[in-house]
Amino acid sequence: MAQAETHYTLAVPGFDKPVKVLIVVAPYYRDIADQLVSGARTALEAAGATHETVEVPGALEVPQAIALAHRLSNYDGFVALGCVIRGETTHYDTVCNDSSRGLTLLGLQGAAVGNGILTVENRAQAEVRAEAAGQNKGGGAAEAALHLIALARRWGNAGKDVGFRPAGESYQVAGGSDIA
């Protein structure tokens, strides 16, 4: 059972500049969502991050809201929260797969996203995973976002000179000679 498992967790990174995080939550199961949000807020505040929370109708809208915020705002990272409980139809598979895929694609595009959307078989599993004093998957998602923000800041100013140059633009190579 997952409760008996022990897992290694990385230490939460520290930051020398303010961190601003957007929590996007689908409160379809309000009590579970509230626990996830509580855990995420506690983790962010412990790291000194500021945060805002917005609600969307369901798990499928979470990646869309994050995509909008990533493109149009100035958040350093995002925490995706919600819960999908298996029902009697294949809708469960669609919601789980598409919300996860959307969040993954955002991450691959440079958004620092912690995924805390629970995908479970029943309500009891959701309650155990969401409980802020228990498995605290909301807090874990917030900490994942903080780790990705730290990496983005570490590598964001690397100043690598890669890619193509416009025709006629010169640059220096080792040895000091200019190449056009």
Q: What is the pLDDT of residue 163?
A: 52
Residues 116-130 have a mean pLDDT of 97
Residue 105 has pLDDT above 80, yes or no: yes
Cα–Cα dist 27/58, whole Å: 7
Amino acid at the residue 83: C
Annotated catalytic residue, options 7, 51, 70, 91: 91
The torsion angles phi and psi of 166, rounded to 5 degrees, stand at: -60, 150
Residues 7-11 have a mean pLDDT of 89
- pLDDT level of residue 1 (50, 70, 90 thresholds): very low
Q: What is the pLDDT of residue 106?
A: 98
pLDDT above 90 covers what percent of the chain?
A: 81
- pLDDT level of residue 6 (50, 70, 90 thresholds): confident
Q: What is the pLDDT of residue 141?
A: 98
**Residue 129 CA, distance from chain mean position:** 17
Cα–Cα dist 179/147, whole Å: 40
Other C-beta atoms closer than 10 Å to the C-beta of 66 total: 25
- pLDDT level of residue 7 (50, 70, 90 thresholds): confident
User: β-strand 171-172 against 178-179: which pairing, if any?
Assistant: antiparallel
Average pLDDT, the chain: 90
Burial annotation 6-41 (CB, 10 A radius, 16+ → b, else e): eeeeeebbeeeeebebbbbbbbbbeebbbbbbbbbb
Residue 3 has pLDDT above 70, yes or no: no
What secondary structure does DSSP assign to 3-70, as a single string? GG-----PPPPP-SS--EEEEEE--SSHHHHHHHHHHHHHHHHHTT-EEEEEE-SSTTHHHHHHHHHH
Q: What is the pLDDT of residue 119?
A: 97
Domain ranges within the chain, ordered by starting residue:
20-179
Alpha carbon separation from 12 to 128, 144, 155, 156, 162 (Å, rounded): 23, 9, 18, 19, 31
**Residue 65 CA, distance from chain mean position:** 12
Residues 141-165 have a mean pLDDT of 82
The model carries a pTM of 0.85
pLDDT, one tens digit per residue, over 16-37 is 999 999 999 999 999 999 999 9
Per the annotation, the verdict on 7 as an active-site residue is no
Among the listed ranges 83-87, 128-132, 165-169, which one has the minimum average pLDDT value? 165-169
What would be the CATH architecture of the domain defined by 20-179?
3-Layer(aba) Sandwich (3.40)
Residues 106-132 have a mean pLDDT of 97
